[in-house]
Amino acid sequence: MGRGNKIPCALISINYNVFNMGNNKTSRNCRNVFIVSLIAGFSGFMLGLLFAPQTGRKFRSMIAEKFLEVVDRSKFALVEARVKAEEFIERNRDKTEEDL
């Protein structure tokens, strides 16, 4: 092949990503970076709370309040995800029945 027939590496990686549907090393690296970022953010948040100038009793009550907030938000997110999943299943069940 001549020099002008080379395909740029960016185009090869784009085609590779399309055919592998995200099962490559790049997507794993992105996921790992995201997880490490979440852990680092949480650690920084906790260290900020630990070094905040408050009394022990205030600090413990604040931690308890924040924990209850997180639990409530998690429960709400779980219910919301369940509703969306049920809607998705029902919508696809209808499509499948139409195709039959």
Whether 21 and 61 share a structural domain:
no
Phi-psi region of 2 (alpha: psi -120 to 50; beta: other; left: phi over 0): beta
CA angle 55/56/61 to nearest 5° reads 100
Which token pair is 6? Answer: 């080379």
Domain that holds residue 15: 7-52
* Res 8: pLDDT: 47
Whether 67 and 100 share a structural domain:
yes
32 inside domain: yes
Q: How many residues belong to the chain?
A: 100
Q: Read off the pTM.
A: 0.40
Q: How many domains does the chain fold into? A: 2
pLDDT in tens, the chain (100 residues): 445 555 444 444 444 444 445 456 667 777 888 888 889 988 888 888 777 777 778 878 888 898 899 999 999 999 999 999 998 988 888 777 777 6
Under 8 Å between Cβ of 62 and 54: yes
